[in-house]
Amino acid sequence: MALLQDHKIISQKKDEFYVKVAGTNKQRAAQGLNEITYTGRPSFLDQIGTSLKTVFAGFLLSIIIAVPVGIIMGLSSTLRTAMNWLIQIFRPVSPVVWLLLVFMIVKTLIQDPDMDKSFVISFISVGFCAMWATLVNTSMGVSTVDKDFINVAKVLRLNIGQNIFKVILPASFPLIFTGLRITLSVAWMVLIAIELLAQSPGLGSFVWEEFQNGANDSNAKIIVAMFVIGAIGFMLDRIMITLQKFASFNKAEIA
């Protein structure tokens, strides 16, 4: 209840702030300047939203990287053998190490003071930490496609794009989706530590601030946050299972 009450108070302060600066923001917009934004303390619900936004951005990044690379590796046994040792080296790397590497690169490349660097650092780090299950499963799924399917594609003279999207991906979909499910779970698991270190205003920051605060209700808030983190992780996993059921190719129904 205290967290909900805190959210109401912060939301009210935020609304009052934007009412006060509405005129100024209109003038700045007319001059082509950035609007003045609220920089006060976020509420617990705001931090949940930030964490969800970060984890989905990292999840999307991992898909963009892992699925195409996994397909390429699956199509070439030579490349798969050559890349396997690199995967085995980078997969166990700690999220802290990925965070520090991404932090140095982002701080060097992004000089825009208005960009939210903590969010960029957080979601890229999450994506790099979580993408390995999708990469391995995609490569394995593509490499184990039934040879009869490949032969049919050759008979039909499908080009490489048609072969991938009409034959290889549908046939390897179960393994790929299993990798995606694991990737999302890992992304949510490492997110809290990454947000804490990157100073991103998400649940990781909330837990650390309450630990540092040491108030009478801090322990209770941390326990509530623990249950919320676990519940959200459970719901994300159930969503992925539901999506897999809807997206799976049901041969019995086609027959």
For the chain, the structural domain boundaries read 45-248
pTM: 0.85
Q: Is 9 exposed, middle or buried (0-12, 13-18, 19+ CB in 10 A)?
A: exposed
Q: Which residue has the tokens 């705001």?
A: 46
Indicate the pLDDT class of residue 218, thresholds 50, 70 and 90.
confident
Q: Write down the pLDDT at residue 253.
A: 44
Q: Once rounded to an integer, what is the mean pLDDT over residues 27-53?
A: 79
For residue 26, is pLDDT > 90?
no
For residue 188, the surrounding DSSP H or E stretch is helix 169-198
* CA distance readout (Å), 98 to 103, 158, 193, 215, 246: 8, 40, 12, 33, 34
Q: Write down the pLDDT at residue 107.
A: 85
Give 10-25 pLDDT, tens digit per residue: 777 777 777 777 777 7
Cβ atoms of 35 and 28 within 8 Å: the answer is: yes
What is the four-CA torsion angle of 55, 80, 152, 246, rounded to 10 degrees?
-20
Give 65-85 pLDDT, tens digit per residue: 999 999 999 888 888 888 888
Indicate the pLDDT class of residue 108, thresholds 50, 70 and 90.
confident
Q: Write down the pLDDT at residue 14.
A: 76
Using DSSP, state whether 110 is helix, strand or coil. Answer: coil
Q: Write down the pLDDT at residue 82.
A: 86
Cβ atoms of 168 and 70 within 8 Å: the answer is: no
Q: Write down the pLDDT at residue 1.
A: 59
Indicate the pLDDT class of residue 247, thresholds 50, 70 and 90.
low
DSSP letter for 165, please. I
Residue 232, CA atoms < 13 Å, CB-side half-sphere: 23
For residue 254, is pLDDT > 70?
no
Higher per-residue pLDDT: 20 or 56: 56
Using DSSP, state whether 50 is helix, strand or coil. Answer: helix
Fold of 45-248: MetI-like fold (1.10.3720)
Which range of 26-30, 32-36, 150-154, 211-215 scores highest in mean pLDDT? It is 211-215
